[in-house]
A and B are shown apart, each in its own frame.
Chain A
Amino acid sequence: MLQLPGIYAEYIHRWLPELLYYALTTLYIAAASFVLAVAIGLVIALLRTSRSALLRAPAIGYIEIARGLPIVVLLYIVYFVPPQLMPGLDWRWFTTFIGAVVGLGIHGGAILAEVFRSGIEALHSGQREAALSLGMTPAKAMIWIILPQATRVVLPPVANYAIGLLKDTSLCSLIGANELMNDAKSIAFADYQPMAVFVLVAAIYFAMSYPLSLCVRYMELRMSHGR
């Protein structure tokens, strides 16, 4: 029978510092792809809510494709396809870390675009009309009137996305990015303690994501009371 406490007593001083070091990489990947996803999401959401069908169509296409693809497949396409399509270029800068960030960013951009769109559309159109009648340009109305109010509405779903993203970074181990899950695999099979290592890693992921999900619950509670 497996004696987890005994195993941890023996190995934890070796495992934990290493795993926590790679947990930091996981956080870097999550943070970088979050920023990229917010940027892509904003642009796509603005295109998606625009009046011209010429701008809307590519935005819709982007959202459908990037949301419809499994993240793993997207990561594989982003990381393995461009170097082979353009073999003449120097691809040494295109590390697994960058591939992971770009792949997760493209996927997150599609999810956040829909979140932002619902935030923009949730506002009464009178807000925009009032801003325009005060002599603001449409761009100014968007920046100073619509987006600040929409931010409030979208905060809980954006935070929910961030939790999902944190967990999804584990998929980057499948293209070989050196993050928490990848390191866990190498420790687990080197020391031949899969159960102990993967349970410990699950606990580390939980410790990172659970505070975030408590924040989301708090925000949702406040939103439903406030206003």
Chain B
Amino acid sequence: MGFWDTIEKKGWYFFTSLMGGWPETVVVAVASLLFALAFGLVVALLRLSRWRALRIPTIAYVEFFRGTPALVQLFVIYFGFPDVGYQPSVFQAAIIGLGLNGAAYLSEVYRAGIESIHKGQMEAALSLGMTPASGMRYIILPQAIRTMLPPITTFSIVLLKDTSIVWAIGVLEIMARARQLVTETLDSNVIYPMAGIIYLCMTIPMARIAARLERSRQAWR
């Protein structure tokens, strides 16, 4: 059967089957984004701490997670953790893996953002009687978020694309459905490009938003 015949006869079936994996893709992406946003902030604050005993392990964590492939990290978590007595579900493993990976990356974004704020800001906050924690919370972070927003948006795009590897540990997201469909019908020439278009429909609009944020940030300065 030719390419166009296949699209005409089975296109809708392929599309609905692929979209069956869309919720899984989105759930993994959103959950690991939230995890990475929260945990990355903790890591960044520890990294900026005055105590070495806190700084050194966080540096090791960031270097290790940025220096190894996300796929390997997923395999360590999903297949390796049972060896030490914890069996995560595929969803847990995917979210923990992509989340820890993302937190290492985001902690550097946070750190750059926090360090971009002039020291005098924190000193002024302290001299007004604020505690260091509330100085961070009410003075530094609200200003730093401006610098951090564009790279965070770019990171969410990368994260969304990275969810396409979690089928390797068994999450039934878009790419897993595509592989199942190909095993079922052998029409890889239609199915994989269609999966690609579904991803593009999500990533290109996000990239537009990221570019706009970047431009408006430059306008503020």
Please give the residue numbers on chain A whose beta carbons come within 8 Å of chain B beta carbons, in ascending order. Answer: 1-2, 64-65, 67-74, 76-77, 80-81, 84-85, 167-171, 173-174, 181, 184-185, 188, 193-196, 198-199, 201-202, 205-206, 209-210, 213
Contacts and interface: CB of A to CB of B under 8 A. Distances in A.
A81 B193 contact: yes
A210 B72 contact: no
B71 A68 contact: no
Contacts of B85: 1
B219 interface: no
Contact of A198 (B79, B188, B189): B79
B71 to A, nearest CB: 5
Contact of A72 (B73, B164, B189, B203): B164
8 contacts: A69-B196, A73-B195, A73-B199, A80-B188, A168-B69, A170-B71, A194-B76, A194-B82
Given A195-B80, A210-B63, 16 more contacts: A69-B199, A70-B163, A70-B175, A72-B164, A73-B199, A76-B195, A80-B188, A84-B188, A167-B69, A174-B165, A185-B75, A198-B72, A209-B67, A209-B68, A210-B67, A213-B67
Nearest to A213: B67
Interface residues of B, number: 42
Interface string B167-202: 010000001001000100011110011011001100
Contact of A85 (B3, B68, B207): B3
A80 B192 contact: yes
A65 B200 contact: yes
Contacts, number: 125
Interface string B88-107: 00000000000000000000
B80 A73 contact: no
A67 B204 CA distance: 9
A194 B68 contact: no
B75 A198 contact: yes
Contacts of B182: 80
B198 to A, nearest CB: 9
A-B CB proximity, top 4 nearest: A195-B80, A194-B79, A70-B164, A170-B69
A198 B192 CA distance: 29
B196 A77 contact: yes
Contacts of A184: 72, 75
Interface in B93-138: none
B5 interface: no
B123 to A, nearest CB: 25
B73 A202 contact: yes
A205 B161 contact: no
A170 B72 contact: yes
B81 interface: yes
